[in-house]
A and B are shown apart, each in its own frame.
Chain A
């Protein structure tokens, strides 16, 4: 059963997180549209990067949480880890979808094409398809069933695509630009300090949003479990 004191404490923490996330997004918007200088070659459309890259970061981080939680679920067989994996996969898919939409919007004026089948774009699309399949599998799975285990295996296998996505621009000649933040020269050496700071603020805002959404989704899954438990009790007592 849920402890009422713990629920109240969680709600307070949630409210602080809402305010922090709101302030971080406000700071990010000011930095993106007022503070940061316009890039010389790409012009104003380069500012899409401050949404595109943090969305990619958030989705990769979310899939990393799916990966770790799935391993822990298979190992410990605790429903808690299954809940974290499911919640994180859903958030990851949402933000991976935003990456796949904002990317072509940025690419069209720069490359002259909405989409090219290069290694980075194709592998990101495959990642999205894997985790959409994961969510479809989840809609048919009950807690503790074999399908939840299959989903965990898919969650682990899907994540193995992420290092491939990261290195794809280094291993092959692609349209997609090479990493600018983490390079062989160090972190952020290839970027203007104002651009790096803006990207940093935006990444922070998206990370806070991830934790906020995770909190809500995990609470929902636990509430669903509680309802299922009460329903089972009702059936058995009848």
Chain B
């Protein structure tokens, strides 16, 4: 059980990496949806 710290570190890296990537995807989604809404609003006002 000596190397439990290494196993823990690897686990943290993998889960941390996946969660951070999913978080960045969510942020990108939010930005794109906001952009699209703004654009649609502008086009409907002009049209």
Contacts and interface: CB of A to CB of B under 8 A. Distances in A.
B29 A48 contact: no
Interface in B28-46: 28-29, 32-33, 35-36, 39-40, 42-43, 46
A47 B6 CA distance: 10
Interface string A91-109: 0001001100110011011
Q: How extensive is the interface on chain A, given as a class?
A: 20 to 34
Contact of B7 (A48, A223, A233): A48
Contacts of B2: 43-44, 109
A5 B25 CA distance: 23
A230 B46 CA distance: 13
Given A47-B7, A223-B32, A216 B13 contact: no
A134 B36 CA distance: 28
B6 to A, nearest CB: 5
Given A227-B36, A230-B39, A234-B39, A105 B10 contact: yes
Contacts of B22: 213
Given A43-B2, A230-B43, A237-B46, A106 B10 contact: yes
B36 A43 contact: no
A226 B25 contact: no
Contact of A94 (B3, B11, B17, B42): B17
A44 B4 contact: yes
Nearest to A52: B10
A45 B36 contact: no
A44 B35 contact: no
A109 B4 CA distance: 10
Interface of A: 43-45, 47-48, 51-52, 55, 94, 97-98, 101-102, 105-106, 108-109, 209, 213, 216-217, 220, 223-224, 226-227, 230-231, 233-234, 237
25 contacts: A43-B2, A44-B3, A44-B7, A45-B6, A45-B7, A48-B6, A51-B11, A51-B14, A55-B14, A98-B17, A105-B9, A105-B10, A106-B6, A213-B22, A213-B25, A217-B25, A220-B28, A220-B29, A220-B32, A223-B32, A223-B36, A231-B39, A234-B39, A234-B42, A234-B46
10 smallest beta-carbon distances between A and B, as pairs? A45-B3, A48-B10, A109-B3, A105-B10, A51-B14, A102-B10, A45-B6, A223-B32, A230-B39, A101-B13
Interface of B: 1-4, 6-7, 9-11, 13-14, 17-18, 21-22, 25, 28-29, 32-33, 35-36, 39-40, 42-43, 46
